[in-house]
A and B are shown apart, each in its own frame.
Chain A
Amino acid sequence: MTDILDILISANFWAAALRIATPLIFGVIGALVCERAGVLNLGIEGIFTAGAMAGWMAVWLGAGLWGGVLVAAMAGAFFGLIHAILTVPLGLSQHVSGIGVTLFATSLSYFIYRTALPDVSSPPRIEAFKPLDIPGLSDLPFLGPALFQQTPLTFLALLLVAITAYVLYRTPLGLAIQAVGDNPAAVESQGLSVYAIRIGTVVAGSAIMALGGAFLTMSAFDAFFFGMVNGRGWICIALTVFASWRPGKALIGALLFGAFDAFQVRLQTEVGSFIPGQLFLMMPYLLSIAALIVVARRADYPRALLVPYFRGQR
């Protein structure tokens, strides 16, 4: 028992939780924004990969780190635009289109990586983001190492949660996004374009998702590996339901998942090797399924989620 307590009170554990949560925060905010507008974006797993590859490749080719972040966002926006065009004006199945975008984005990223670097055996490294030293805050006892020794992308993720909440609840654009995911006819009858709002939101949401991928290659690691996204996108889709499509709850969900994951790694070393490590790896996923069962039964789905809108048809 004391060992477990030791884990929970170590600053190192909380720093790891926040670090693991960062790509999930980007992903879940992006997915949430798309779904608020009524579009499920299962392209997320591929968009993560594309963001990871594009951001890293840009820096490797000589762009600055923030230039790489921008390139990653643009890659995400590109695949988001494909998904939006297929599902919004053409009204195709959001599931099929999303899976298609994931396969396309993943394969295209691998293809470009392999074409650009045909001969390397170990992935080349870049100079990744360094933890930010915030004078005053970073030096606080416990809180400093736990919360304030993160890379800039983590702070960007936290800032994005606040910005998304503000836009969604406080601006005319946010009202339109919420309305278009509930009853598109309400938006059209007020003279706004359903297609423009949905397409724009999906493109923006996909750009945010891609930042989650960029964090992996430009902050958590400093290179691009095949399979490095490893299901993080799918976790974000589940976290969106867990969060009831609210940015604040999305942050909590991502942090919980990060904490579980950081916890199981430490528990593995504590308990030793007589329990197979794979069981520990399963733990965060099992817990997220359990959390979903509790929360999702009362989930307040956007009413127009998955429903294509065609003008003049009622």
Chain B
Amino acid sequence: MAGLAQDAGVVLRLDGITKRFGALTANGDVSLDLKRGEILALLGENGAGKTTLMNILFGHYVADEGRVMVSPDGTGLSELEPGSPHAALQAGIGMVHQHFTLAENLSALDNILLGTERLAALSSSRAPARRKLEELMARSGLTVSLDARISQLSVGEKQRVEILKALYRDARVLVLDEPTAVLTPQESDTLFATLKKLSDDGLGIIFISHKLAEVLASSHRVAVLRGGRKVADLPTAECDRRKLAELMVGHAIVETMRSPGTPGAPLFVLEKASAGQGRDALREVDLTLKSGEILGIAGVSGNGQTTLARVISGLEPLSSGSMTLEGKGVGQTSARTMIDSGLARIPEDRHHDGIVGAMSVSENLAIEAIRKPENQRLGLLRFSAMRERARNLIKAYDIRCQSEDSPARLLSGGNIQKIVLARTLETVPKVVLAAQPSRGLDVGATSDVHKRLLAARDRGAGVILISEDLDELMRLSDRIAVIHRGHLSEAEASETLDRGSLGLRMAGHSTEDAA
């Protein structure tokens, strides 16, 4: 095979990879070539099989059929031993996982050195490693302080350590799984500039993404996965946004468009509100939500959003400042009172905080109104009435499940989110708190969530939308405020904002810097 002209420059080949998990086919007969110096984007929705494919490549999983071929020295392709990360590393494959694989209690240098030396060696040779790394950092522009403990580094720095881990081992293929999920827009730009430089030096790069914009801007070639199968493999220059989106979803999509809202009177107000401790604390936050508007909260995760959501949900009391709902002070209240006063809570971690997995769909739909007369009589639950109502909601919200009695944990993420929406929005809430409502959902489920939120707004509810997805915020919000290190900027009309200025503020630059 080695002599064929089409193999020239191919550093990695996936050949007919199939992987099944029980009845689910995660990858079906996927074949893929990666050339030297090429940036390949692997595009697909959640559950399309992107991460599974890369985990097979790196040896975390063993494929049921097919093989991985590599060309470690740039000449002939040879088969890679399946199921061995060690073999993958030896063959020059480096992988940057979505969840970083770093030991927080070690320095950056030690993390990079880990596994590169014989375990029986009597001492770690840090000095030569440091010299090689300093040279690598100078060449690639990936600077980190080598002696800092990982726990002290920012997310962007941790990602640079991950890339350096691969480069230090002289990787010829670099795989990045959703590398921009945790980065600010500016950090993402820097990352892609670095990847460009590395690919010019001959590194083959695969990055996994579901964000169309970065795929179009930063790749040479796009492979699209849908339902575990490769449905397209074409040069990025021949693609546009619409075409890629259709390939990814499988049908034409209509993006939710917002009509201007008609905001009413102030509904929900935070004044100099502080709560929590540490990095995720909330510091003297002012926020005014009017009825009939969507207020977007932008920010990189871990800047106080979680505490903000907990405060509004009534799960965490304010340490100072005030919180009022329709003029009534609710700063020191409980989750139950907040729900009873008209708050709909769409929590960030829907599997954990949104449902009780072991309970049935109908029980989950009733769980926040369990003391209302329609669900109980004299302290005894009215199961038949609950089921009846659940059947109606399942139809109205298109919740895909076997029946209202199936355990909620068996449902997909999108359908779990529909349970949460049905439960909270059916109560005709005054305030809707939506924390990362479309995170991890596919395009169809996302557009469903967006429609529901807009409908709630048009009905007169005030919606607080906490999100890390700028596209989502720009598309849905009437006004947007930015949260950084627990401080919330003043909300501005979303028409006056653009991605660039929001990104700068998410990174902590003030408005003046942005201008």
Interface size class of B (residues with CB under 8 A): 20 to 34
Q: Is the CB of B114 within 8 A of A179?
A: yes
With A185-B97, A312-B61 known as contacts, the answer to whether A190 contacts B102 (CB < 8 A) is: no
Contact stretch, chosen from B38-46, B116-124, B393-401: B116-124
Quick check: is A173 within 8 A (CB to CB) of the other chain?
A: yes
With A172-B118, A312-B55 known as contacts, the answer to whether A189 contacts B97 (CB < 8 A) is: yes
- Chain A 168-192, CB-CB to B under 8 Å as 1, else 0, gives 0011111110110111011111111
Which residues of chain A have C-beta atoms less than 8 A from B103's C-beta? 178-179, 182-183, 186-187
Cβ of B181 to closest chain A Cβ, rounded Å: 14
Q: Is the CB of A312 within 8 A of B60?
A: yes
Q: Is the CB of A171 within 8 A of B116?
A: no
Q: Is the CB of B85 within 8 A of A188?
A: yes
Which residues of chain A have C-beta atoms less than 8 A from B88's C-beta? 191
Which residues of chain B have C-beta atoms less than 8 A from A314's C-beta? 97, 99
Cβ of B182 to closest chain A Cβ, rounded Å: 15
Cβ of B86 to closest chain A Cβ, rounded Å: 4
Contact stretch, chosen from B104-112, B134-142, B282-290: B104-112
Quick check: is B95 within 8 A (CB to CB) of the other chain?
A: yes
Q: Is the CB of B114 within 8 A of A190?
A: yes
Q: Is the CB of A191 within 8 A of B104?
A: no
Q: Is the CB of B123 within 8 A of A191?
A: no
With A176-B115, A191-B86 known as contacts, the answer to whether A186 contacts B102 (CB < 8 A) is: yes
With A190-B165, A191-B115 known as contacts, the answer to whether A171 contacts B102 (CB < 8 A) is: no
Quick check: is B332 within 8 A (CB to CB) of the other chain?
A: no
Which residues of chain B have C-beta atoms less than 8 A from A182's C-beta? 103-106
Cβ of B20 to closest chain A Cβ, rounded Å: 14
- How far, in angstroms, from A170 to B124 measured CA to CA in the complex? 6
Cβ of A265 to closest chain B Cβ, rounded Å: 39
Quick check: is B113 within 8 A (CB to CB) of the other chain?
A: yes
Q: Is the CB of B85 within 8 A of A191?
A: yes
Which residues of chain A have C-beta atoms less than 8 A from B58's C-beta? 189
Interface size class of A (residues with CB under 8 A): 20 to 34
Which residues of chain B have C-beta atoms less than 8 A from A302's C-beta? 105
With A172-B121, A186-B111, A192-B115 known as contacts, the answer to whether A303 contacts B104 (CB < 8 A) is: yes
Task: Name the residue of chain B whose CB is nearest to the CB of A180.
Answer: B103
Quick check: is B89 within 8 A (CB to CB) of the other chain?
A: yes
With A179-B103, A303-B104, A314-B99 known as contacts, the answer to whether A172 contacts B124 (CB < 8 A) is: yes
Task: Name the residue of chain B whose CB is nearest to the CB of A200.
Answer: B119
Quick check: is B320 within 8 A (CB to CB) of the other chain?
A: no
Q: List 18 A-B contacts (CB under 8 A).
A: A173-B119, A173-B120, A176-B115, A178-B106, A183-B102, A185-B99, A185-B101, A186-B103, A188-B85, A189-B58, A189-B85, A189-B101, A191-B115, A192-B115, A303-B105, A311-B60, A312-B55, A314-B99
Given A172-B114, A191-B88; 16 other pairs, CB 8 A cutoff: A172-B117, A172-B124, A175-B113, A176-B115, A176-B119, A179-B110, A183-B102, A185-B101, A186-B114, A189-B95, A190-B165, A191-B89, A191-B90, A303-B104, A314-B97, A314-B99
Which residues of B are in contact with A by a Cβ distance under 8 Å? 55, 58, 60-61, 84-86, 88-90, 95, 97, 99, 101-106, 110-111, 113-124, 165
Query: Sorted from nearest, which 7 A-B pairs have the closest CB atoms?
Result: A190-B115, A179-B103, A191-B86, A189-B101, A172-B117, A182-B103, A185-B101
